[in-house]
């Protein structure tokens, strides 16, 4: 299993930027797979706790049922538009994908679903310093950190 702390150890500066984007806003978006294999997106809250990326689902919610059946997910940070004229200051957006591992719920709602992420990929998309190129950086446990720029 690859926990968030593994990303932090492997690429601390990259992990700090990604975490900053996830921590900047309370609400994120998660993609799960329905029983028929089609995608479902849902709002969700996620936190970094004790070296883990953690998230949950209210009792009997569809996203929890999706993750219980097929643990694959993609989590997207909140997005903000670049400010016209200040595009180079746009922080970008971040994505984390992997498998949701059910954990014991220690909160007040014992019926809620609680998960930790087994991370397979982390992505940070942003602009270069001159705001002339799109920069995509991605990390995987097997291949480490990569970066490409696109016009």
- Whether the CB-CB separation of 136 and 125 falls below 8 Å is answered with yes
Structure tokens at 133: 């190129």
Average the pLDDT over 62-74 and give the result: 96
Instruction: Give the confidence band of 60 by pLDDT, cuts at 50, 70, 90.
Output: confident
Mean per-residue pLDDT, 87-98: 96
CA-CA distances (angstroms) from residue 63 to 28, 78, 79, 145? 13, 18, 21, 30
Task: Categorize the per-residue pLDDT at 105 as very low, low, confident or very high, splitting at 50, 70 and 90.
Answer: low
| Closest C-alpha among 38, 33, 116, 17 to residue 67 | 33
**Mean pLDDT calculated for residue range 69-90:** 94
Q: Would you say residue 111 has pLDDT above 90?
A: no
CATH architecture of structural domain 4-150: Roll (2.30)
Structure tokens, 110: 């014992």
pLDDT (average), residues 62-91: 95
């Amino acid at each position: 299993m690859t926990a968030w702390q593994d990303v932090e150890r492997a690429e601390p500066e990259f992990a700090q930027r990604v975490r900053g984007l996830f921590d900047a806003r309370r609400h994120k978006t998660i993609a799960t797979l329905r029983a028929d294999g089609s995608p479902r997106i849902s709002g969700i809250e996620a936190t970094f706790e004790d070296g883990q990326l953690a998230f949950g689902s209210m009792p009997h919610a569809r996203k929890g049922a999706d993750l219980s059946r097929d643990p694959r997910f993609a989590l997207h940070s909140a997005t903000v538009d670049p400010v016209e004229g200040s595009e180079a200051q746009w922080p970008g957006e971040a994505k984390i994908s992997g498998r949701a591992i059910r954990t014991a719920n220690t909160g007040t709602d014992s019926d809620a679903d609680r998960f930790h992420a087994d991370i397979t990929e982390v992505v940070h998309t942003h602009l270069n310093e001159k705001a002339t190129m799109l920069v995509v950086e991605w990390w995987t446990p097997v291949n480490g950190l990569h970066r490409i720029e696109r016009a």
